[in-house]
Structure 1
Amino acid sequence: MVWIQLAVLILLILVGARMKGIGLGVMGAVGLLIFALGFGLKPTTPPIDVMLIILSVVTAAAALQAAGGMDYMVSIAEKILRRNPNHITWLGPLVTYSFTLVAGTAHIIYSLLPIIAEVATKKRVRPERPLSISVIAAHLAITASPISAATVALTSLIAPKGYELTDILIVAIPATIIGVLAGALVASRQGKELMKDPEFLERLKDPEFVRLLDGDPADHTKEKIFSTAAKRSVYVFLLAVISVVLFAAIPSLRPSFLTDGKMQPLRMVEMIELLMLTAAAAIILVTKTPAAKVSQSTIFRSGGEAVVCIFGVAWMSDTYLQAHMPFFESHLSDFVTVHPWTFAIALFVMSILLFSQAATVRALMPLGISLGIPAPALIAMFPAVNGDFVIPSYPTLVAAMGFDRTGTTKIGRFLINHSFTPPGLTAVIVTIATGFLLAAVLL
C-alpha cells in the first residue's frame, strides 16, 4: 500500500503541476480525499502557519506594489545595472538576489529581467548568461529571506529543537551568496560570445530586428519621478523586514505569556504575521493607497495561488508521510543518520515536482526531523528545495526566455538541458556544501 499511495501522490502532483496556477492545490485536495476515502488515512492538521505567513507577507508586498514602492525599488536597480553594463552577469544576479531577500518572493524580479536582458544585449553580452543566473539567484534568495514562507516554515519546524530564525539566516545568507557567485562564474562562460553566435548573426541581417534590439537611447535618459508616497512605502516595508530580523535575533523583545507554567515569548510565526500585516496597514495609511487596490495587485493574486497550492499539496503529502512514518524510519533512519547529505537529494527531487520551496519544506522536512537528522544539517540542506528550475515551466524562467530577444536563453532538445541548468545546479550544490561548512562552525 505504501508504494501504491506514493504513486497516487506523485501522479496527482504531476497533474497539478501541468495545470499551473492553483492546480497543485486542488489536485492535492483530490489526493487527500482519495487517501481518506479509498485508503482510510486520517488527514493531518492543515499547514495553517505557512498559509497565514504567505498571506501576511504577500499583503505587505502587495501594499508596497500598490503604493508604487515596487516601481521605485526597480528604478534604483535599473540605475545600478545601466551604469555598470560590463559587469551585468555579476550585478544582475546580485540585484535580483537582494530584491528577493527583502521581499520574500521571486515574483519581484519580473520588472528587472527585461532591464537585464536589454543592458546585456546593448553591450553585446550574451543575454543567456546574466538572465539564467539572475533567475537562479532570486530562487536561492527565497531560502535566505527572513520573511519568505519557506524560511518561516523551516523555523517553525526546528524551533522545538532549540533553533531560531537567526540560526537559519547566519548559514543561509552567506551560503547562498557564495552559491550565486559560483553560478555566475559558470554562467559567464556559458555559450558562444554573442557576436560569434550564428543564430544571432543571422538575425542581425534584419533591419527591423536591429531597431527593436537596440531601441531608442532617449527612452532611458529620462529621469523617472516617483511620489513621496512611493518612497515612504519602501521605508515602511524595509522597517518591517528589519524588525523581523531584530525580533528573531533578540527573543526578549517579543511579548511573553504564561504557557505550561512558564513564561514563553511569542512565536516568530505570529510575530512575522503581525509585523507584516501592520506594515501593510501603515503603507495604506501613510501613502493613502486604497485598500481595494492592494487586493487587486498581481502580487496579491500570485500569493493567493501560493496559499491554495500549499493548502492542498502540503496537506496531502504530510498525511501520507505521517501515515507511513514507521515504515520510513525503519528503512531510512540508519542510512540517513550516517549520510545526512543524501536527504538533500530527496528535497531537491521533491521541489522539482512541487514547484514551491515552502511546499517542499512543509512536505518533507518533518520526515527529516523524524529520521533524526540534526537541525544544523537540515539548515545546511535547506537550499536544496530550489529544484524548481529543472523543468523550465516556472514563471520566472518563462519570463526570462521571453525577454531575451536574441533567443540565446532557451530550452534544450531534452527539456532539462536548458539555459538555467548549468548555473542552477552549480549554485545549489555549492550553496549546500558551503552550508554544511558554516553549520559545522556556527551552529
Structure 2
Amino acid sequence: MLLQLGVMVAAIALGSRKGGVAMGLWGAVGVFVLATFFGVTPADTGGIVDVMLIILAVIMAASAMEAAGGVDHLVGVAERAIRSRPRRVTFIAPLVSWAFTLGAGTAHVFYPLLPVIHDVAREGGVRPERPIAVSSIAATFGITASPVSAAMAAMIVMFDGDGWNLPRIMAVAVPATLLGVLAAATVQSRIGRELDADPEYLRRLAAGEIEPVTAAAAERPPLPPRARWSAYLFLGGTVAVVVSGLFPALRPAAGDGGPLGMPATIEVLMMAVAALILLVCRVDARRIPGTDVARSGLVAVIGVFGLSWLGLSFIGANEARITGALGGVARSHPWFFAVVLLVLSALLFSQATTTKALMPLGVALGIPAPLLIAMWPAVNGYFLLPTYGTFIAAINFDRTGTTRVGRFVVNHSFMVPGLVTTGVAVASGMLLTTFL
C-alpha cells in the first residue's frame, strides 16, 4: 500500500511541476503503473464521465458567454460595485468575487477583478493585501457554492440518490461559504500595517517603481451590442438548473417514467443555453474554443479524468486497509476528515478532483452524508501552498508589494483568510445540516 501511495504522490508531484493538463495526464500514468506493476484494477470511470460531461456542458455555455462579451459585461458590473465604497473594499471585493464565481462556476473569471481591487484599495488608502488576499480566497470558495461548478457536479453525481439534491446541498454550501468569507474579511481588515506606513510600499514609491495614486478608472473598450444578453441567458440557465433540482416534476421524463436525473438535466440545459447564446447574440462558433474559459475548462476535464481515476483506483484497491486505519478516528472524530480534505486538496489543485477522489472514502469510512456535505468546503485547501494560478496572479498584480510569500513559504498572505474561511464554513455547515 505504501508503494502504491508513493506512486500516486509522485504522479501528482510530476504533474503539478508542469501544471495545466499535465496533472491529469500524469494521473493516467499513475493508473498505468498501478495496474501494470501492482495488479490494481482501474476504477470504473462511469461516475467520472458524468462529471466530465457536466463540466463540458457548463464550459460551452460560459465560453459562448465570453465570446459574446458577457464576461466583460459582468466584470464591468463587478467593478462598479467594488468602486462604490473604496474604504470598504476589504468587505465589498470578496463578496463580489464570491458572487462572481458562484454565478460563473469557475474562479478563472476572477482574474479581471484583481487590478480593479488593487487600484481601488490604493485610491482608498487601504493596504491592498487585505482585499486582494481575502478576495482570492472568496473566489475559490464560491466554487463550492455554485450550482454549475465542476465540484458541485461531482457532489450531485455522488449524493443525489441519497436524498441530498442540488438545492439541499446549496442550502448548506451557500450560507456556509458566505459566512466564512465574511469572517475572513473581518479578520483580514486588521492584517498588516496601514499602507502609508508599510516600508516596502514606501520604498517602491520613492524609487519610482510604482506610479503615484490616481483615482482615474481605466477606460474599457466598448462591448458587443448583445453582450449583456449573453450574461442574462447564462445566469438564466443557472437559475433553471437550481429550479430543476428543487422541482423534479419540471424535468423531462426519463425512460423509466420518472424525472430525468440531475446530471443529464444540467447537461441539456447548459448546452441549450450555449446554443441560444450563439443564436441570439450572433456569436461566431469558431471563437469559442479559443476563449479563456474554454481553455481552462479543458484543463479541468483532463484533471478530473486523470487524477480522479488515479485516486479512485488507489482507494478501491486499498479500501479495507484505509478504512481499518482511519475508521476508529472517523467514528470518534469525524471532523478529522475535513483536515484530510484540506491537506490533500493542496496536492490535487482541484475542488472537483478532490471531491470525486476523496468523498467516496468518507462514505466508506461510515461518515454520514450530512457531515460530508458540511465538511465539503475544506476541498478548497490549495491555498496552503501559494502555487495556484489565482494566488500567483494576485501577488503579481499587487504592485505595492504588500501581497507576498514569506521566507518560510507557508507564511504567505493567503494563509490566514484561507484558514478562517475554511474553519467558519465547515463549522457553519455542520450547524446547518442539523436543520436539514
TM-score (structure 1 length as normaliser): 0.95
Deviates more, 1:26-35 or 1:153-162: 153-162
How far off is 1:15 after superposition?
Answer: 1.6
Out of 228, 235, 243, which is 2:225 matched to? 228
Out of 422, 425, 428, which is 2:422 matched to? 428
Q: What's the counterpart of residue 29 of structure 2?
A: 30
- Offset from partner CA, 1:129-179 (integer Å, 9 cap, x none): 000000100111100101111012011111232211111100110010100
Residue 14 of structure 1 aligns to a residue in which SS?
A: helix
Out of 225, 228, 242, which is 2:239 matched to? 242
- Alpha-carbon distance between aligned partners in 1 of 2:160 and 2:74, rounded to the nearest angstrom: 33
- Alpha-carbon distance between aligned partners in 1 of 2:119 and 2:157, rounded to the nearest angstrom: 41
- Alpha-carbon distance between aligned partners in 2 of 1:213 and 1:249, rounded to the nearest angstrom: 52
Instruction: Map residues 94-113 of structure 1 onto 2, 5 A cutoff.
Output: 94-113=95-114
Q: What's the counterpart of residue 125 of structure 2?
A: 124
- Alpha-carbon distance between aligned partners in 2 of 1:252 and 1:332, rounded to the nearest angstrom: 41
- Alpha-carbon distance between aligned partners in 2 of 1:104 and 1:434, rounded to the nearest angstrom: 22
Deviates more, 1:84-93 or 1:39-48: 39-48
Q: Is contact 2:99–2:142 with CA below 8 Å preserved after alignment? A: yes
Q: What's the counterpart of residue 380 of structure 2?
A: 386
Verify: 1:80 aligned to 2:74, yes or no. no
Q: What's the counterpart of residue 136 of structure 2?
A: 135
How far off is 1:52 after superposition?
Answer: 1.1
Q: Is contact 2:87–2:125 with CA below 8 Å preserved after alignment? A: no
2:285 is matched by which residue type in structure 1? A
2:358 is matched by which residue type in structure 1? L
Q: What's the counterpart of residue 373 of structure 1?
A: 367
Q: Is contact 1:213–1:405 with CA below 8 Å preserved after alignment? A: no
Q: What's the counterpart of residue 252 of structure 1?
A: 249
Verify: 1:288 aligned to 2:282, yes or no. yes
1:233 is matched by which residue type in structure 2? S
Q: What's the counterpart of residue 149 of structure 2?
A: 148
1:301 is matched by which residue type in structure 2? R
Residue 257 of structure 1 aligns to a residue in which SS?
A: coil
- Alpha-carbon distance between aligned partners in 2 of 1:111 and 1:60, rounded to the nearest angstrom: 19
How far off is 1:125 after superposition?
Answer: 0.7
Q: What's the counterpart of residue 431 of structure 2?
A: 437
1:270 is matched by which residue type in structure 2? A
- Alpha-carbon distance between aligned partners in 1 of 2:212 and 2:58, rounded to the nearest angstrom: 37
How far off is 1:204 after superposition?
Answer: 2.0
2:243 is matched by which residue type in structure 1? L
- Alpha-carbon distance between aligned partners in 1 of 2:35 and 2:352, rounded to the nearest angstrom: 24
Deviates more, 1:51-60 or 1:99-108: 51-60
Residue 214 of structure 1 aligns to a residue in which SS?
A: coil
Residue 400 of structure 1 aligns to a residue in which SS?
A: helix
Change (3 A) 1:115 1:219: closer
Q: What's the counterpart of residue 324 of structure 2?
A: 330
How far off is 1:357 after superposition?
Answer: 0.2
- Alpha-carbon distance between aligned partners in 1 of 2:209 and 2:324, rounded to the nearest angstrom: 62
Q: Is contact 1:121–1:213 with CA below 8 Å preserved after alignment? A: no
Out of 300, 304, 311, which is 2:294 matched to? 300
Q: Is contact 1:152–1:165 with CA below 8 Å preserved after alignment? A: no
Count of equivalent residues: 434
Residue 239 of structure 1 aligns to a residue in which SS?
A: helix
- Offset from partner CA, 1:16-45 (integer Å, 9 cap, x none): 111111121111011000011101111112
How far off is 1:309 after superposition?
Answer: 1.1
- Alpha-carbon distance between aligned partners in 2 of 1:20 and 1:180, rounded to the nearest angstrom: 27
- Alpha-carbon distance between aligned partners in 1 of 2:151 and 2:203, rounded to the nearest angstrom: 44
2:332 is matched by which residue type in structure 1? V
- Alpha-carbon distance between aligned partners in 1 of 2:13 and 2:185, rounded to the nearest angstrom: 31
Structure 2 unaligned residues grouped into runs of 5+: none
- Alpha-carbon distance between aligned partners in 2 of 1:70 and 1:366, rounded to the nearest angstrom: 35
Q: Is contact 2:103–2:238 with CA below 8 Å preserved after alignment? A: yes
- Alpha-carbon distance between aligned partners in 2 of 1:329 and 1:82, rounded to the nearest angstrom: 51
- Offset from partner CA, 1:274-307 (integer Å, 9 cap, x none): 1111111111111111001111101101110111
Deviates more, 1:111-120 or 1:195-204: 195-204
2:381 is matched by which residue type in structure 1? G
- Offset from partner CA, 1:63-92 (integer Å, 9 cap, x none): 111100100111111111112101000000
- Alpha-carbon distance between aligned partners in 1 of 2:413 and 2:61, rounded to the nearest angstrom: 33
Q: Is contact 1:53–1:272 with CA below 8 Å preserved after alignment? A: yes
How far off is 1:328 after superposition?
Answer: 2.1
- Alpha-carbon distance between aligned partners in 2 of 1:413 and 1:52, rounded to the nearest angstrom: 42
How far off is 1:219 after superposition?
Answer: 4.7
- Alpha-carbon distance between aligned partners in 2 of 1:114 and 1:53, rounded to the nearest angstrom: 31
Structure 1 unaligned residues grouped into runs of 5+: none
- Alpha-carbon distance between aligned partners in 1 of 2:209 and 2:338, rounded to the nearest angstrom: 45
- Alpha-carbon distance between aligned partners in 2 of 1:244 and 1:417, rounded to the nearest angstrom: 40
- Alpha-carbon distance between aligned partners in 2 of 1:338 and 1:247, rounded to the nearest angstrom: 38
How far off is 1:218 after superposition?
Answer: 4.7
1:385 is matched by which residue type in structure 2? V
How far off is 1:326 after superposition?
Answer: 1.8
- Offset from partner CA, 1:201-234 (integer Å, 9 cap, x none): 122213x445x3435x4554x6864343101101
1:134 is matched by which residue type in structure 2? S
Q: What's the counterpart of residue 168 of structure 2?
A: 167
Q: Is contact 2:15–2:26 with CA below 8 Å preserved after alignment? A: yes
